Amino acid sequence: MLKLAQTPVEPTPVPQHVAIIMDGNGRWARARGLPRTLGHREGVEALRRTVEAAGKMGVKYLTVFGFSTENWTRPVEEVDALFELMRLYVAKDLERLVKEGVCIRVIGGRESLAPDVRDIIVRAEQRSAHNSALRLTVAFNYGGRSEIVRAVQRIAADVKAGVLAPEAISADTFDLYLYTHDMPSPDLVIRTSGEQRISNFLLWQAAYAEFIFLDVLWPDFDQAALESAFHEYRQRDRRFGGVIRDATN
């Protein structure tokens, strides 16, 4: 009897670190005649789907932009609603995420956050610190420029204290002073909602990331959208300043 060879299906490689600018909640709500805050609530559902899908597909690092240093300029009711959603997300999802092996990290300025939000962040990080299946980093009160300025201040302080020599400062040293010091740079940055800008997200870290801009509004984002981004990512030729990979030479 003819025996079919059991060739194992190779899992399609996925980017190791995916970063997402979750944009379009307000437009999603407006299109339905709903208040913007309901768009943000649906945005949390999309985040839940995305964390699950990314974990299943083998992504190791998922970094999402939840609140920027510039988002403070929004109406106070909207800012309050975003903070309330952060509280609810952790309250509802933390134990499940811990069980699923997710390690949670929050990057961004903590000083200007309400004390209870700071406590929630510390608890989520401590409860999930031992996990390693997926690192979920939430950029909250995050801005790339202030992250870089903070790194410069800390470097200057170490130079002043005599523990760092100015000539020892390299790009690798600089990395160590960023919030993201213990993770690789993003391979892929996805932005939803059709906007094509970086909006102060991971300015240093995204130096060689691939960018994919999707027209889908964040509350409609799902596994299929993530898969379509990965499909496009696989067609890209990452050169890092080198030469084109060409099979003929």
How does strand 188-191 pair with strand 134-142? unpaired
Which one of the listed residues 71, 158, 220, 222 is annotated catalytic? 71
Site for Mg ion in 9-38 (CB under 5 A): 23
- Is 23 marked active-site? yes
**Residue 26 interacting with ligand IPE (CB under 6 A):** yes
**Residue 100 interacting with ligand IPE (CB under 6 A):** no
**Residue 175 interacting with ligand IPE (CB under 6 A):** no
Distances (CA, A) of 48 to 1, 52, 55, 89, 203: 48, 6, 11, 9, 25
**Residue 144 interacting with ligand IPE (CB under 6 A):** no
CB of 137 to ligand IPE, least distance (A): 13
CB of 22 to Mg ion, least distance (A): 9
Q: Which does 65 bind (CB under 5 to 8 A by kind): ligand IPE, Mg ion, none?
A: ligand IPE
- Is 141 marked active-site? no
Residues 6+ apart with CB under 8 A from 120: 86, 87, 90, 91
Among the listed residues 24, 108, 143, 144, the single contact to ligand IPE using CB under 6 A: 24
Q: Where are the beta strands (DSSP E) in 59-207?
A: 61-68, 102-107, 134-142, 188-191
Q: How far apart are CA 121 and CA 34, in angstroms?
A: 30
Q: How far apart are CA 169 and CA 183, in angstroms?
A: 19
Measuring CA to CA, which residue among 37, 155, 163, 135 is closest to residue 88? 37
Q: Which residues belong to the active site?
A: 23, 71
Residues lying near ligand IPE in the complex (CB under 6 A)? 21-27, 65-68, 71, 82, 193, 195, 197, 199, 218
